[in-house]
Structure 1
Amino acid sequence: MSAIIFILQLILAVIMLPFHILYYIGIWDRTSKKTFPLFLSKASIIYNKLMEEHKKSLFNNLSDFADSSKELRLLEIGCGTGTNFKLYPKGCRVTCLDINPNFKKYLSKSIAESDHLKFDGFLVASADNMTPIADASMDVVVSTLLTCSVPNTPAVLKEVKRVLKPGGAFYFLEHVASTDESSLISFFQKVFNPTWKMLFEGCSLQKATWKDMEDAKFSELNMRHIMAPTIIILITPHIIGYAIK
């Protein structure tokens, strides 16, 4: 089976050879950092319509983690275009963080449409090195479709725990590798993964993020696997839930 996967990966690499050449000489990386936010601003509309009920259910208890003043301090890492904003409770103070500064243009539109929230700024930083964020300064951290593209998920979770207050919560919704390695989804995730990562800013189809969540030793972990109603079968396996520091 591994030999078949390798052969199919080679065939796909040949078909996508122009993109691979652009990637290895650095042109694709520079270009995609500017074009990916535009692509995501369009693709996220479809994704969020399909996932709206899952997201509403996920975020329905956010306010439970507000401090004594009832003001919820929320950090969204990998905020992208800000498609989650409409689901956050009124009066929530939101800090946005993304490694790609080119998202700011699209983020500004979402901020303007979210007058029920208070925004504390947009930080350009990696989720595994959030030095601008003080220790224990956040009630909630949110991550949706981020861990697929970070090289070191345990480092991200360590940073999440650092910036959360004691008793604070980390909410997540991530596409992951199929847990059934004998399935067709798993087979094609392995075939397409090298090219997929190149095209989509390092996004991996084979991340076992649930194992990193279990190893992070949160005091409480509420997590479940779902098959999301996405239009791309390669990213239907998801994990969803929240963890408490």
Structure 2
Amino acid sequence: MTTRTAQPATLTTTRTRAPEDDLEEFDEHPVRGRFNSAFFWVMGGYINRHLHQRKSATFADLPPTVVELGAGVGANMRYLPAHARLTAIEPNPFMHSRLRRAARSWGVELEIRSVVGERIDLPDASADAVISSLVLCSVRDPDAVLAEIRRVLRPGGRFSFAEHVAAEAGTPTRWTQRILRRPWAWVFEGCSCERDLASVIQSAGFARVDLTHYRIHSPFLPFNTHIAGTAIA
């Protein structure tokens, strides 16, 4: 990967959802929110070692302006083109300071929109590319989020994703996912290890979907089954 020289990022004002919006708010929890921000900041390098090869292929050749769902603490900024402009859909306010720090480090122009993925406050057909990683597992309504992604993508725009998914039925991994689903979901802000996200994405109405199933090997057994790919609007 090409090395980029870090430069100060242009940081715009964080935008929040209008009070009249009738969609349920993000469940802001001061303990979970802070824990997840710290966890993904500390564990980012470890997680990236496992996912780097797939992400490098999936996020290759992104355009200079990108929308990211659940940008978190900025783990995917390393995959953006030089001098990229990122609109980060990130409702967890405890992620924002680290997200801004990552933007400064990578020289990314950043705008944070503190809204949920089910109601992205961007115009129709306004985005060339949307990306996500380890996000669709935790949204309340994946179908609604994918409908929003299709809405904001221009015709021919791309949605590139790297997500963890349910293991095959009857396997030790699936058994572990089921046993741990409630504490896992509480700790990781609603994250479900039992979603068949491949089927959800394939049935979301995209013109074309290309994805690959793969497995990583980490001590976090429920997290080890993944998909990565791209869907074209």
Q: Please indicate, yes or no, whether the TM-score normalized by the shorter chain is above 0.5.
A: yes
Mapped pair 1:129 → 2:119? yes
Query: How far does the alpha carbon of each residue in 1:105-150 deviate from its partner, in whole angstroms, 9 at most, with x for none?
Result: 11111111112x333x11100011112x111111000010001111
1:60 maps to a residue whose letter is A
1:113 maps to a residue whose letter is S
TM-score, scaled relative to structure 2: 0.84
Matched residue SS, 2:137: helix
Deviation at 1:81, TM superposition (A): 0.5
- The 2-side partners of 1:57 and 1:230 are apart by 21
Instruction: Show structure 1 runs of 4+ deviating over 2 A.
Output: 228-231
Instruction: Identify which of 151, 159, 163 aligns with 1:174.
Output: 163
Deviation at 1:231, TM superposition (A): 3.5
Query: How far does the alpha carbon of each residue in 1:142-183 deviate from its partner, in whole angstroms, 9 at most, with x for none?
Result: 0100011111000000000011111000010000001x2111
Q: Is the 8 A contact 1:51 1:229 kept in 2?
A: no
Query: How far does the alpha carbon of each residue in 1:55-99 deviate from its partner, in whole angstroms, 9 at most, with x for none?
Result: 11111232xxx4xxxxx3210110001111111112322111111
- The 1-side partners of 2:94 and 2:109 are apart by 22
2:81 aligns with 89
Q: Where does the alignment leave 5 or more consecutive residues of structure 1 unmatched?
A: 1-27, 67-71
2:22 aligns with none
Matched residue SS, 1:81: coil
Matched residue SS, 1:60: coil
- The 2-side partners of 1:55 and 1:49 are apart by 10
Instruction: Identify which of 109, 120, 124 aligns with 1:118.
Output: 109
Mapped pair 1:37 → 2:33? no
Q: CA RMSD in A?
A: 1.5
Q: Between Structure 1 and Structure 2, how many residues are aligned?
A: 206
Mapped pair 1:162 → 2:154? no
Q: Where does the alignment leave 5 or more consecutive residues of structure 2 unmatched?
A: 1-27
1:209 maps to a residue whose letter is L
- The 2-side partners of 1:54 and 1:154 are apart by 24
Instruction: Identify which of 129, 146, 168 aligns with 2:135.
Output: 146
Question: Which has the larger share of helix?
Answer: 1
Matched residue SS, 1:154: helix
1:17 aligns with none
- The 1-side partners of 2:159 and 2:218 are apart by 23
1:10 aligns with none
2:20 aligns with none
1:197 aligns with 185
Matched residue SS, 2:86: strand
Q: Is the 8 A contact 1:177 1:189 kept in 2?
A: yes
TM-score, scaled relative to structure 1: 0.80
Matched residue SS, 1:195: helix
1:242 maps to a residue whose letter is T
Instruction: Identify which of 97, 103, 120 aligns with 2:95.
Output: 103
